Structure 1
Amino acid sequence: MTHDPRPFGRLLTAMVTPFTTDGTLDVEGAAKLATYLIDEQGNDALVISGTTGESPTTTDAEKDTLLRAVVEAVGDRARVVAGVGTNNTAHTIELAHTAEKAGAHGLLVVTPYYNKPPQAGVAKHFLTVADAVGLPVMVYDIPHRAGTAIATETMCRIAEHDRIVAVKDAKGDFVASSWVTSRTDLAYYSGDDAATLPLLAIGGVGLVGTSTHFTGRIAKDLIEAFERGDAAAALALHRQGMPLFTGIFRQPGTMLVKAGLRARGLPAGPVRSPLVDAGDDELNQLRQDAAAAGIVL
């Protein structure tokens, strides 16, 4: 089956989840942040309740409330992808059904983490979830967090499913990714901001970013420059963004994104334990990284 080559557009941001000062979900803030990411940062879609959105420490009910608020806020201006990945296939299906009812346009499903299933189990997990829902699925390959990589043969196998349409690629193995993009029509999105340009060169279509809370316009322009054949412009934008593409990960991205958003007066609030809020030194370093990319925080 031939899929849309860019099923979720070119630029997505894995949105942080705003909390109030007492640590509860900030629904109004989430709607405001989603609007900012679309209108000011140029996102085609948003990923809600990914790891950057602190999904390990939000409840299923909070995930549903958050998703509904963002879907309503963005309307038809952007797509919303719900993070539903867990290391329990049955629980992932429950979250997927809830997200579908809430109006999500797609699902982000990460490799089951910690329990380290064999490749047969990895394939079964993704195929079982895709069988259970009517939404397109973006597979998230991030072995340095999940503990298990999705093997090339496994990726090619699951790509045969009509609803498995995209990959968020944070594996850092461009040879493996190149094999998959040459053998399937999966839409490959970089899961690492700094790897966007290299991935585009081997058949990628876009980025699911973290620094793109601030660098969205740079990243979008980079992708569009590459698509129109202007490799020099794409490279210049890649180099411009690099200080913040990489600097946002000096600490877990959630911590620094929220610090930067707070500095800009945008909804963010605190992080939940076991993360800790970035301190003054970390914020100052983030500001330096941003300034090196031409961005003021």
Structure 2
Amino acid sequence: MAPSTSTDAPFGRMLTAMVTPFLPDGGVDYDGAARLATHLVDERRHDGLVVNGTTGESPTTSDDEKSTLLRAVIEAVGDRAVIVAGAGTNHTEHTLKLARQAEAAGAHGLLVVTPYYNKPPQEGLLRHFTAVADATGLPNMLYDIPGRAGVPIQNDTLMKLAEHPRIIAVKDAKGDLFGASRVMAETDLVWYSGDDVLNLPWLSVGAAGFVSVVGHVVGTELHEMIDAYRAGEHGRALEIHRRLLPVVTAIMTRTQGAIAVKAALNLLGLPGGGPLRAPLVEATAEFAVHLREDLTIGGVKVPEATIPEVAR
């Protein structure tokens, strides 16, 4: 059973799309994933986690690895955090398989990305998302990210999809605040910021919370931003937003997200900071130097022992 959540935030408010830790030999580090999940939930105020998302390098993990990873995270924190399984692919039948596999593993919900690369028309998106929602009893969060998928989920399509009882939320990395405001006003869909650079603006138009990447290192601060905004302390929320700008800049704008996050976890001495799977590559020493500087400016304490030699 999923942890208790409110109807206006069915997946919780502060979630992070978690990286997938790997061992030096290339295998998935399931113990490391459990430790990282525990840290995020118990130490960084996460209401939920997305497992097997793009930041979790889902394009390069097998179906069996996805299932085992999901079970490891659920066993570690599933009694006190909402665990959302990334199930989206650009092949509808494969997506249905992953959705059913996630339900069998005990996931509390599904994150379903727009089919990428093959650029389906809106009718294709409508049929795809409906088929996935029909395949399980789990609530679905659609992931609208045209920068990677190649096509947006248009607002009229979202309104049609909102009629499905299990399509209940959107992770937005499209950035159309006005269009989303229209959809939120006319449907019951719940919005989550899927782009850390717009977290605070999304709250201002009615988003319930975040599905973050920088939450790996500043989850507590992001939760404080949400709490402050919801309490009417908008000046406090703005102060947190501005203080975290260097962290967001470092992790979200200078290289691929999983690369940057694993480098940050490495600097902080936290689980998950190990290797990446090709075609992704580890961060350069030069990037790590700038990352440390930006994290420090943003108020993140980097242990001296983890600072690369080139930065000393």
Q: State the TM bucket, normalised to the shorter chain.
A: over 0.9
In structure 2, the partner of 1:261 is 265
Partner of 1:251: 255
Which of the residues 203, 209, 221 maps onto 1:206?
209
Instruction: Return the alpha-carbon distance in structure 2 between the equivalents of residues 208 and 53 of structure 1.
Output: 13
Of residues 28, 43, 46 in structure 2, which corresponds to 1:43? 46
Alignment correspondent of 1:5: 8
Give the AA of the match of 2:212. Answer: G
185-194 or 96-105: bigger deviation: 185-194
Amino acid at match of 1:259: A
> Bigger CA drift: 87-96 or 240-249?
240-249
Q: Find the aligned partners of 1:179 and 1:89 in 2 and give their Cα distance.
A: 28
Paired residue secondary structure (1:282): helix
Return 180-189 or 11-20, whichever deviates more.
180-189
2:38 & 2:282 partners in 1: Cα distance?
24
Which letter maps to 1:138? M
Aligned partners of 1:57, 1:209: CA distance in 2, in Å? 21
Q: Which of 276, 279, 287 lines up with 1:282 in the alignment?
A: 287
SS in 2 for 1:107: strand
1:22-101 paired onto structure 2 within 5 Å: 22-101=25-104
Q: Point out 4+ residue stretches in structure 1 off by more than 4 angstroms.
A: none
Distance (Å, rounded) in 1 between the aligned partners of 2:206 and 2:264: 32
CA-to-aligned-CA distance 1:26-67 (integer Å, 9 cap, x gap) = 011010000001011110000001000000000000000000
Consecutive unaligned residues in structure 1, runs of 5 or more: none
1:140 is matched with 143
Q: CA deviation at 1:282?
A: 0.7
Q: Distance in 2 between matches of 1:44 and 1:75?
A: 10
* RMSD between superposed Cα atoms in Å: 0.9
Give the corresponding residue for 1:186: 189
Partner SS for 1:226: helix
Which residue of 227, 234, 240 maps to 1:224?
227
Q: Distance in 1 between matches of 2:244 and 2:269?
A: 22
* Inter-partner Cα distance in structure 2 for 1:230 and 1:183: 27
In 1: Cα distance, 2:44 partner to 2:193 partner: 17
TM superposition score normalised by structure 2:
0.93
- Deviation for aligned residue 1:226: 0.6
Question: How much does 1:265 deviate?
Answer: 2.1
Superimposed CA distance per residue, residues 135-161 of structure 1 (whole angstroms, 9 cap, x where no aligned partner)? 000000000000000000000110110
Contact preservation (8 Å) 1:194, 1:238: no
Q: How many residues align?
A: 295
Aligned-pair identity in percent equals 56
Q: CA deviation at 1:246?
A: 2.6
User: How does the TM-score come out when normalised to structure 1?
Assistant: 0.98
Contact 1:244 1:289 in 2 (8 A): yes
Amino acid at match of 1:291: T
Of 21, 24, 32, the residue aligned with 2:24 is 21
Q: How far has the Cα of 1:194 moved from its partner?
A: 2.0
Conserved? CA contact 2:267–2:292, under 8 Å: no
Q: Secondary structure at the match of 2:76?
A: helix
Residue in 2 that maps onto 1:113: 116
Measure the CA separation in 1 of the matches of 2:146 and 2:175. Answer: 9
